[in-house]
Amino acid sequence: MRNGTTHCRYAEDVNPAFPAEIMAKPGGEALRDCIQCGTCSGACPMSVHMDLTPRRVIALTRAGLERDVLASATPWLCASCYECQVRCPREIKVTDVMYALKRRAIEKGMYPKRFPIPVLAKAFYTIVASHGRNSESRLVIELALRTNPLSLLKMAPLGIKLMRTGRMAFRQDRIMVPKELKTILDAMEES
């Protein structure tokens, strides 16, 4: 993974509008209050695996270094455990900020490519938007096909065990009127 400290940054790397845009998102309001104490990074069970710690993501966001932040694996490695959020002495909704960064990275196509987590998010989004419910088996298969098809072979023994214990549903569960969900979601797009 990249190491942010080895790169020089110049004015042209900065998107001056970026900090205000993220602070305008629900949960982003308190970003300006960050005192860079690092409590978030210390609390995070994932930070040892991240290219940028949560504290650095906040610093870079406030500096307007949009590309560094959005191309980072960090928002995607956030498991949404909210430990940083409840521990933050400045009451910053760090987890919600990570969500805002994920959405922004998808919108701008800047998320880390060939990284399985955004692939999973998008596959999940599509399944639920069309059927109203998730299918665990279909989600796993779609993720494997789009990232590492050979992994399906390795997963087979577990799949068989889950089948034997009646914990794998193959049928795509769906709501009775998927159209109703579509009506809601479409109506939200018109403004």
Partner 1 sequence: MTAYAYYPGCSLSGLGRPYDESLRAVFGHLGLALEEIPDWNCCGATSYMSVSEDKAVALAARNLALAGPMRAEVVAPCAACYLVLTKAQHMMHEYPALAARVHKGLRAAGLTYPEHVTVRHPLDILVNAVGLEAITAKVARPLAGYRVAPYYGCQVVRPYGTFDDPLRPQTLDRLMTAIGAHVVDYPLKAHCCGGSLTGTMEEIGVRLNFLLLKEAKARSANVLATVCPLCQYNLETYQAKMRRAFNEDVTLPIVYFTQLLGLAFGLSPVSLGLQRNFVTAEPLPAMA
Residues forming the site for partner 1 (CB under 8 A): 25-26, 45-46, 49, 77, 79-83, 85-87, 95, 99-100, 102-103, 106, 116-118, 120-122, 124-125, 128-129, 132-137, 140, 143, 158, 161-162, 165-169, 173, 175-177, 180-181, 183-188, 191
Q: Which is nearer to partner 1, 7 or 86 (CB)?
A: 86
Q: Which is nearer to partner 1, 145 or 185 (CB)?
A: 185
Q: Which is nearer to partner 1, 14 or 30 (CB)?
A: 30
Are the C-beta atoms of 37 and 89 separated by less than 8 Å? yes
- Closest separation between CB of residue 59 and partner 1, Å? 22
- Closest separation between CB of residue 62 and partner 1, Å? 21
Q: Which two tokens stand for residue 66?
A: 């949009």
Give the closest residue to 75 by CA, choosing from 46, 101, 93, 109: 101
> Residues 6 or more apart from 186 whose CB is under 8 A from it?
none
Q: Which is nearer to partner 1, 50 or 65 (CB)?
A: 50
- Closest separation between CB of residue 123 and partner 1, Å? 8
How far, in Å, are 80, 87, 143 from residue 46 at the CA level? Answer: 10, 15, 21
Count each helix (H run) and each strand (E run) in the chain, helices first: 11, 0
Q: Which is nearer to partner 1, 63 or 141 (CB)?
A: 141
Query: Which H or E run contains 11?
Result: none
